[in-house]
Amino acid sequence: MNTPSRRRVVSLTATLTAALVTTACGGGGASDRARTIARVVGPFEIHSLEPTASNGLFTRLEVADTVVSSDVEGTLAPGLATTWQPSADKLTWTFDLVDGARFHDGTPVDAPAVAASLTKTAADAASPLAGAPIAKIAAVGETLNISLSTPDPTLPALLTHYSAGILAPSSYDGAGRVTKVVGSGPFEVTELELPSSITTRRFTGYRGDQPTIEGVEFSVVGRAETRAVMAASGQADVVFGLEPAGRQRVDAADGVSMASALQPRTVLLKVNGAHPALKDVRVRRALSLMLDRDRIAEAVLREKDLAATQIFPPALATWNQPDLEPLTHDVDRARDLLTEAGYRPSADGKTLERDGKPLRLTLTTYPDRPELPPLATAIQEAARAIGITIDVAVGNSSEIPAKHADGTLELALLTKHFALVSDPFVSIAETFAAGGAEWGVMNWQDPALTTSLATVAQQPTGPAADAARHEVASVIQEQLPVVPVAWYRLNAAVSDRLGGFVIDPIEHSWRLSETTWVP
């Protein structure tokens, strides 16, 4: 009597297993796509087709071109414009557009189309172009003219930003909303699924050399653990956003290696310069001296070399000052400075206080960059060791500009990208602006620094500019209006099948059109 039932159980289990294995094998990993489409995986979601809200994906995937481009060193390079120059009064910039460029729908990339696309971007408050003193963007014959209300030497650099990616007129609906992404880059979009994937193929009408790879499939994978498995097992050709544990997994795997470049990005503590404790430079210096940056960088970022010795990372070659005395770790000196500032141990000896008020600060940070909360915890522990109580509040990144605006921010841990547009001056001038910056200084200014920034703005090259940049870095090192914590390395796991992959530290483009399949 046992037999029929047992057979049933066995056959059920067998059917289930067979079904699972069949479907599993049917899908395959990267192998069936090998040597045709490159599979790229990252955590960046595609929220919208609008260039400003696209997370830069359409320029990184080389679907949309910018008028001015930049190379891996961050130097300006021709994009849709071959040359550009300002007028004598520096109030009008003329851009000569490349000949023979076509959008993916076959229409020519002419001056009116470029002007129309840029005009839409400049009207979007979130684009860096919106902050430029642009009076008019117009097509004059075959050239693009941008008139300014005041001179702005950084305009070409602003045009490298992804929000200034140029789209064909057919991309927009009647209301000016982007309904499809029709660019002029070496790849055109074939499939797009918000928020998770974009597939492209080579654009046969591209004005330059045709890419070797036939196309790119970009998919969003939110969990770092999943991305690590995909990288290590060769299911993707390029994987961005790996955490230290994932990088170790990749290092141990065959057929894949890590590509990396120091980024012009610094993890820093934003300090409210009007806070009763933090307005005293001795307290800010104590905060800096209490940090054992080498150990923190090694423990959290798994790379000692990322410990910041000054605000500008080596990736910002013109701004980094090798001769500057590095920020150091000295707990005794930190304690002395706090004593000088009037802080004494409380009755229980655990915390410091002044006028009966404990030295207690709230540190706001966000989890978008996974290393920030652990870094905040490490800072909290370092502070506890010298008697400062830090409450860590991990929330949405937007809380930092919001708390800056209403003045309630005390400390914030954030990462600052100094080259969102290819000329770092734009971000640096904004970060240390005398009036404060939401992602920079707060209630702090220094006349010497402001003058030096103005010098660089007027004449960006030459000995005077070099001296001014040195002055900027020195003032920040002494005054610590923001406390540098660590530098940043952008990395990606790259399959050995894909040759010629180069990491662009400012992420203007992933440069996949320059890659080839390795036999």
Partner 1 sequence: MTTPSVPRTVRILTARLAQACGVALMVSVVCFLVVQQLPGDAAYRIAAGRYGADLVDSAAAQGVRQELGLDRPVWQQLGDWCADLFTLDLGRSLVTTRTVVDELGPALLATLQLAAAALLGAVLIGAALGTEAARRPGGIVDRMCAAWVAASRALPPFLLGIGLMVVLSGRAGWMSSAGGDGLAALVLPALTLAICLSGLFARIIRDAVIEVHQSAYVQFARTKGLPERVVIIRHTIRNALVAVVPYVGVQAVVLIEGVVVVESLFSWDGLGHALVHAVFWRDVPVLQGASLVLALLIVAINTGVDLAVAALDPRPRHAGVTA
**Which of left, alpha, beta for 55 (phi over 0: left; psi -120 to 50: alpha)?**
left
Q: φ, ψ for residue 383 (rounded to 5)?
A: -70, -40
Indicate the residue among 1 and 88 with the shorter CB distance to partner 1. 1
Distance in Å, CB of 39 to partner 1, minimum: 8
Indicate the residue among 119 and 346 with the shorter CB distance to partner 1. 119
Indicate the residue among 246 and 387 with the shorter CB distance to partner 1. 246
Distance, in Å, from the CA atom of 73 to the CA atom of 143, rounded to the nearest integer, reads: 27
Q: Cα dist. 213→202, 371, 496, 497 in Å?
A: 8, 34, 14, 11
Distance, in Å, from the CA atom of 486 to the CA atom of 266, rounded to the nearest integer, reads: 6
Indicate the residue among 228 and 289 with the shorter CB distance to partner 1. 228
What is the DSSP secondary-structure string of 100-145?
T-B-TTS-B--HHHHHHHHHHHHT-TTSGGGGS-EEEEEEETTEEE
- Token pair listed for 346: 């409380």
Distance in Å, CB of 253 to partner 1, minimum: 9
Distance in Å, CB of 188 to partner 1, minimum: 21
* Cβ(410)–Cβ(278) below 8 Å: yes
Question: Which of 232, 208, 288 has the alpha carbon at shortest distance from 477?
Answer: 288
Beta-strand pair 411-417/344-345: unpaired
Distance in Å, CB of 302 to partner 1, minimum: 20
Indicate the residue among 405 and 464 with the shorter CB distance to partner 1. 405
- Token pair listed for 401: 């500009």
- Token pair listed for 200: 């492209």
Beta-strand pair 143-148/389-394: unpaired
Distance in Å, CB of 411 to partner 1, minimum: 17
Distance in Å, CB of 88 to partner 1, minimum: 32
Indicate the residue among 180 and 417 with the shorter CB distance to partner 1. 417
Distance in Å, CB of 50 to partner 1, minimum: 8
Binding region for partner 1 (CB under 8 A): 1-2, 4-6, 8-9, 12-13, 15-16, 20-21, 23-29, 41, 45, 47-48, 52-53, 55-56, 124-128, 130-131, 163, 177, 193-197, 219-223, 225-226, 229-230, 232-235, 366, 368, 395-399, 401-402, 405, 417, 420, 438-439
Q: Cα dist. 517→213, 492, 496 in Å?
A: 7, 17, 9
Distance, in Å, from the CA atom of 425 to the CA atom of 452, rounded to the nearest integer, reads: 12
Indicate the residue among 368 and 391 with the shorter CB distance to partner 1. 368
486 alpha-carbon distance from chain centroid: 15
* Cβ(29)–Cβ(234) below 8 Å: yes
Distance in Å, CB of 374 to partner 1, minimum: 17
* Cβ(157)–Cβ(426) below 8 Å: yes
Distance in Å, CB of 235 to partner 1, minimum: 6
Indicate the residue among 28 and 169 with the shorter CB distance to partner 1. 28
Indicate the residue among 194 and 434 with the shorter CB distance to partner 1. 194
